[in-house]
Chain A
Amino acid sequence: MKSLTLKNLLGRPVRTAALTALAALLSFAVFIGTMIVLSLGNGLDSLEARLGAEVMTVPYEAATKKKFEDVILQGMTGYFYMDKSKLDEIAALDSVGDISAQLYLASTGSNCCSMPVQIIGFDPETDFTVTPWIKKSGGGQLKELDIVVGSDLNAFVGDKLSFYGVECNVAAKLDKTGTTYDTTVFTNIDTIDRLIQSSLDKGMNDFKNLKPENIVSCLLINSADGYSPEETMNDINLHVKKVKALRSKNMISGISSSLDGVSGMIRTLIIAVWALGVVILLLAFTMSVNERRKEFAVLRVMGSSRSKLAGMVFKEALSVCIAGSAVGCVIGLIVLIPFGGAIEQKLSLPYLLPGPAAVLMCVGGTLILAAASGAAAAVLSAWRMSRIDTGLVLRGDN
């Protein structure tokens, strides 16, 4: 015969289904909430890693009009330029260590381009931010007219994409970052020179009469040994005109505080839902035990000890909570994986699902929490039930 616990659960399908659904709902709320909080934190870490430089320097106007932030943090397309001489000027400062230039270009949705995206050109000779990422994603050295696409772009290795009439080869696809870089196209400085020239030739660039070989959009800088990023930033802002140096960390601090707010709200909701759920489970188990007092009295008569009966109530509660929790986690995953993009858009924050190990840990944690809550809710019922006066119960019902 199957265990009495299992028989009891299967023998009352409506009650079991209702309790399982309740546990599933609670676990779904906890799992999905935790995953969103983790994904937001992960997205922020990923953004920090992808910015990859301590200090970023852009044309003064790009910084004050927030054009740069819009491109990097909000996923808007845009471009801005400064004279390449700024690179040499800044590189000459004692506080500057690694320095590499990037060139920005935004394609449009018109028929000049395959898709409207942000295009960033980097210098493979000096780059220390994009190249390691390309290597990590399995890409190699870029040849002329080779491009690397972000993970959310609908293009794959071997595809051809056209920007301002220039056909480019997709040489690699980057790993997902959960940031605006997932919709960005990267290429080397020679290719982007060609693209900028082509946009100028077609009259589709706001900056007229530019010579691509003489411009840069952004300088990525790591401070020299003995200097702090703060000192390097101040050094640049003090000695180089018409540019604005920014600390990468400060740039994302706004995101970080929004993220703290959202995460805090989600955590509060999780706690509220869970506390309410434990109270509901407690009531449900208490009602269930009251309804089954006579059954428990019969088991006592048949020779069941108090501890055996309490154990049975406990096992039933644990089984229901663990099964419900597993269902809640599966539904959570079904919702999270396909709707991750929609959540990211709605929150307007970097959002990157954690890896399988972290997801499994989160599932495990939710199961343990559900089991612990079920056990806590069942303790009172089990204790009450173990104190029943068998004789009185049997007589009272007749």
Chain B
Amino acid sequence: MKLSAENVTKEFIRKTGKSNHFSAVNDVSLTLESGRLTVLNGRSGSGKTTLLNMLSGLLSPTKGRITLDGEDIYALDDKRLSRLRNQRFGVIPQGQTAIHSLTVLENILLPFSLYRESGEAEQKYALELAERLGIAQLCEVRPAELSGGELRRMAIARAVIRRPSVIFADEPTGDLDDENTALVFGFLRELSAQGSAVFIVTHENNAAGYADEVYRMNGGKLEISE
């Protein structure tokens, strides 16, 4: 599996300022491959999340292409692209992203239940993931009762429940202490070893220790980090 960004640029229109257009990501090329963990860091506003959103099928580039095994994902219609995201991509977004009307277990199973595909095997795997991430005892409670760190681990379990080909993690350890940060990076490394391509956007300096490649975004440009 190969997910590639080919000379992608993303421009936004600003209502103020000298120029109406501003490039969040400027002519970036990058390839994510099965079994490899890629870390992207950089200053706030440097375009990291924009690049992640483009790679994960959530934001179409202004220029360039995003291809999955050679096929331009933005050439797909919304239905097919959504199904692709559901089946092959797992995204851990920034911040708290729980669905509050669902229990923790239902939140973890959400990618399956969106397409009514949740069965016993999926439930079992969801419980295993919850166990692995230390939230097994919280499966039947509602997200409102969880701490920030627990919510983040729930979001990680939800992102990987479908055993996706590519895992995107946007600041996955933002709310976590050192111990849980190590647990999450270790877990993502493990998933990478099992064959997923993992792409992590983070400010954590120690993330590099888990990575196969480390990149840095600087003013919308991608640089290889030393």
Give the residues in chain A near B94, CB-CB below 8 Å: 394-395, 398
User: Which of A29-37, A100-108, A301-309 contacts its partner?
Assistant: A301-309
For the complex, is A254 an interface residue (Cβ under 8 Å from B)? Answer: no
Known: A300-B58, A301-B85, A390-B53. A12 touches B101 (CB 8 A): yes
Give the residues in chain A near B84, CB-CB below 8 Å: 303
| B102, A305: Cβ atoms closer than 8 Å | no
Contact count A vs B, C-beta below 8 Å: 85
Total count of chain A residues near the partner, CB < 8 A? 28
| Distance in angstroms between the alpha carbons of A289 and B224 in the assembled complex | 42
Mask: chain A, 378-398; 1 = CB below 8 Å from B; 0 = not: 000000000001110011011
User: Which of A20-28, A130-138, A291-299 contacts its partner?
Assistant: A291-299
Known: A10-B101, A303-B83, A305-B78. A394 touches B158 (CB 8 A): no
| A391, B49: Cβ atoms closer than 8 Å | yes
| Distance in angstroms between the alpha carbons of A7 and B102 in the assembled complex | 7
| Distance in angstroms between the alpha carbons of A116 and B78 in the assembled complex | 77
| B82, A295: Cβ atoms closer than 8 Å | no
Shortest Cβ distance from residue A311 to the other chain B in the assembled complex, whole angstroms: 12
For the complex, is A74 an interface residue (Cβ under 8 Å from B)? Answer: no
| Distance in angstroms between the alpha carbons of A299 and B98 in the assembled complex | 10
Shortest Cβ distance from residue A133 to the other chain B in the assembled complex, whole angstroms: 59
Known: A4-B114, A398-B94. A305 touches B82 (CB 8 A): yes
Known: A391-B58, A394-B93. A1 touches B118 (CB 8 A): yes
Give A390's nearest chain B residue, CB to CB.
Answer: B58
Give the residues in chain A near B59, CB-CB below 8 Å: 389-391
User: Which of B30-38, B67-75, B103-111, B178-186 contacts its partner?
Assistant: B103-111
For the complex, is B86 an interface residue (Cβ under 8 Å from A)? Answer: yes
For the complex, is B132 an interface residue (Cβ under 8 Å from A)? Answer: no
For the complex, is A8 an interface residue (Cβ under 8 Å from B)? Answer: yes
Contact of A304 among B82, B93, B97, B106 (CB under 8 A): B82
| Distance in angstroms between the alpha carbons of A302 and B87 in the assembled complex | 9
Total count of chain B residues near the partner, CB < 8 A? 35
| Distance in angstroms between the alpha carbons of A10 and B114 in the assembled complex | 17
- From 271 to 306 in chain A, residues with beta carbon under 8 angstroms from any chain B beta carbon are 294-295, 297-306
- From 107 to 133 in chain B, residues with beta carbon under 8 angstroms from any chain A beta carbon are 109-111, 113-115, 118
Give A304's nearest chain B residue, CB to CB.
Answer: B114
| A1, B99: Cβ atoms closer than 8 Å | no
| B102, A11: Cβ atoms closer than 8 Å | yes
| Distance in angstroms between the alpha carbons of A40 and B134 in the assembled complex | 68
| Distance in angstroms between the alpha carbons of A8 and B100 in the assembled complex | 9
For the complex, is B192 an interface residue (Cβ under 8 Å from A)? Answer: no
Give the residues in chain A near B58, CB-CB below 8 Å: 300-301, 390-391
For the complex, is B95 an interface residue (Cβ under 8 Å from A)? Answer: yes
| B101, A11: Cβ atoms closer than 8 Å | yes
For the complex, is B66 an interface residue (Cβ under 8 Å from A)? Answer: no
| Distance in angstroms between the alpha carbons of A48 and B50 in the assembled complex | 77
Give the residues in chain A near B169, CB-CB below 8 Å: none
| Distance in angstroms between the alpha carbons of A4 and B78 in the assembled complex | 21
Known: A1-B113, A391-B58. A302 touches B158 (CB 8 A): yes
Shortest Cβ distance from residue A305 to the other chain B in the assembled complex, whole angstroms: 4
| Distance in angstroms between the alpha carbons of A182 and B114 in the assembled complex | 60
For the complex, is B91 an interface residue (Cβ under 8 Å from A)? Answer: yes
For the complex, is B79 an interface residue (Cβ under 8 Å from A)? Answer: yes
Give the residues in chain B near A8, CB-CB below 8 Å: 101
Give the residues in chain A near B142, CB-CB below 8 Å: 11
| A298, B97: Cβ atoms closer than 8 Å | yes
Give the residues in chain A near B53, CB-CB below 8 Å: 390-391
Give B56's nearest chain A residue, CB to CB.
Answer: A301
Shortest Cβ distance from residue A298 to the other chain B in the assembled complex, whole angstroms: 4
Give the residues in chain B near A295, CB-CB below 8 Å: 99-100
| Distance in angstroms between the alpha carbons of A308 and B78 in the assembled complex | 10
| A306, B78: Cβ atoms closer than 8 Å | yes
| A391, B50: Cβ atoms closer than 8 Å | yes
| Distance in angstroms between the alpha carbons of A298 and B94 in the assembled complex | 10
Contact of A299 among B56, B106, B114 (CB under 8 A): B114
Which 8 A/B pairs are nearest by Cβ-Cβ distance? A11-B101, A303-B86, A398-B95, A305-B82, A391-B53, A303-B85, A298-B97, A305-B79
Q: Known pairs A300-B82, A304-B86, A398-B95. 12 more at Cβ < 8 A?
A: A1-B106, A7-B101, A7-B102, A11-B100, A299-B99, A302-B91, A303-B84, A303-B89, A303-B111, A308-B82, A391-B50, A394-B93
- A-B CB contact pairs (8 Å), 7 listed: A1-B109, A11-B142, A297-B93, A302-B158, A308-B82, A389-B59, A398-B94
